[in-house]
Structure 1
């Protein structure tokens, strides 16, 4: 009991806890906008899972330049090639989830790897997809020494050389690989799969004739098709590419089930605070809408979609289911 005239200097424990909780919430609420406003507070690294010089690397560097202009920050590109992007994913997850280490991911890395790698050390839920950056069909190309200018002529030529023709993919467990596999199965060919570690080395060997044909990135092949160093026989998009208007789609040729596009995009660790994720998303969408970036990417043979949020998540879910079925049908399992 208090002495007469004494003032209460304490409150019950539950009231003190409640008051402390309100104080903490108020501090978080005040801090969150400031946290977002300070991004980037230091250099931001965009981690790329392919070697320098390829299509993914080109997109990453273009995006880094534009983000730097939009935010006034410093954006770096770090190539962590290997295991079809899994090394880059793991590297990002080991970094502090503060918005300063982000992942340049691809359709293959994000939607195929979860089915293709039996002991994957990351999962889709570890990341938040920010935005789809580019989208493009693949191109079925052949070296000029191949005596075929159409898909039917190519099929006839390969059928006449059973077991002696190979096809190149830019990495195992990618649309480039699986479309080649399906092409092989569809026409009962006997081609050998030659996988590469990125589109740059794949294109190098296609140009040199070490491998006569393959499905490759449109961006990587475009200049070589235009110069006559490679022949484009078909594209895999739902309609003809504006960059190769005279090249038919596989759908036109009666093989709509082989249609596919590839995309590259930006993802952040799921543990990143939401205010920072919001700031990254806003900056990325603003950068990708910039006419300067769109013109630069389109000049390299990229289509620049504006897809993010729920629409991007639905695309990822749909594609993950599609490639999971194909991985199961082929029995493909990648080595970790």
Structure 2
């Protein structure tokens, strides 16, 4: 009990306020979330990141019984979505679902308005993925030996496409050319859909694409899958060998999708989102849904491990771009 003697009121007031602040903070931390959580997606509605974000939204909603809003903000190679999270991250209610290439590829290929290793923080992997080398089906190129034989016979070089200039689909094709003595000539596109249409139309023979966008066309027999750029075979393409199996371990680096936050998001909230993501995405039924779109389940790596993987991938991509004398656009 506080008494009105000497300076007792002042000391008592400080004590009461301090205890109130501690109590209020503890209550706020325990109660989070008290309003809807936003998951910002750096891609179109219905795309890979959107599908994964909606799975994560299910997990957050089931655990905390609060609504989760999935908001698509495509464009500018992910910069629009990243800036949103940078601006809103302090609130603890806005998070990002994006591919690791936002850190390891985009800043090397394009001029961006964010610092990849300091403005966003990886919390957890949601899925892992790779690339697939696909071919026009009319060429009857059924394996990598066929592709190399075909490519080496092209006097003016063999043309290939990818979904974006300066990204891993581009550098993978150039690296394959160096490893197999094929003169690879790049054809750039903004996104996979039109490139796949032109591949099927015979505008060029080969393409390095994301597995999720090529998978429906591979399954329907409209294009041929030659090899995947991933450490192991992909569950969605069990009969397609990896480049590593075929003697090219240089083409085996995995990419991944994850949930990210602003580094200014309260650490206890970061941990809650990370724990929820890992727990939910380890469920067998959720992992089957991830595999159904041509991806593999994510690892349970720590944030430090994720940062180390990003730095390694960034260094590899920078080396490849330097070899082909690429300049950021």
Please indicate the TM-score interval, normalised by the length of the shorter structure.
0.7 to 0.9
Tell me which residue corresponds to 2:79: 86
Tell me which residue corresponds to 2:176: 183
**What secondary structure does 1:285 align onto?**
helix
The answer as to 2:320 corresponding to 1:326 is yes
Q: Residues 210, 84 of structure 1: CA spacing in aligned structure 2 closer, same or farther, 3 A cutoff?
A: farther
Structure 1 stretch displaced more, 69-78 or 280-289: 69-78
**What secondary structure does 1:51 align onto?**
coil
Contact in 2 for aligned 1:138/1:216 (Cα 8 Å): yes
Contact in 1 for aligned 2:234/2:296 (Cα 8 Å): no
Q: Alpha carbon RMSD of aligned pairs, Å?
A: 2.9
Residues 190-244 of structure 1, C-alpha deviation per residue, up to 9 Å, x if partnerless? Answer: 4442333444554444445444321222222223222211111111122333332
Unpaired runs of 5+ residues, structure 2, are none
Residues 159-182 of structure 1, C-alpha deviation per residue, up to 9 Å, x if partnerless? Answer: 333447432222233221211121
Count of residues paired in the alignment: 325
**What secondary structure does 1:123 align onto?**
coil
1:297 CA displacement:
1.2
Q: Residues 237, 270 of structure 1: CA spacing in aligned structure 2 closer, same or farther, 3 A cutoff?
A: same
Tell me which residue corresponds to 1:222: 215
C-alpha distance in 2 between matches for 1:137 and 1:286: 23
Equivalent runs, 1:1-336 vs 2, <5 Å: 7-9=5-7, 20=14, 26-118=19-111, 120-163=113-156, 165-309=158-302, 310-335=304-329
**What secondary structure does 1:73 align onto?**
coil
Q: 4+ residue runs of structure 1 moved beyond 6 angstroms?
A: none
**What secondary structure does 2:141 align onto?**
coil
Q: Residues 287, 154 of structure 1: CA spacing in aligned structure 2 closer, same or farther, 3 A cutoff?
A: same
TM-score, with structure 2 as normaliser: 0.85
Unpaired runs of 5+ residues, structure 1, are 1-5
1:41 CA displacement:
2.8
Contact in 2 for aligned 1:62/1:297 (Cα 8 Å): no
1:132 CA displacement:
0.7
1:275 CA displacement:
2.1
**What secondary structure does 2:265 align onto?**
coil
Contact in 2 for aligned 1:70/1:287 (Cα 8 Å): no
1:109 CA displacement:
0.8
**What secondary structure does 1:97 align onto?**
helix
Q: Residues 168, 228 of structure 1: CA spacing in aligned structure 2 closer, same or farther, 3 A cutoff?
A: same
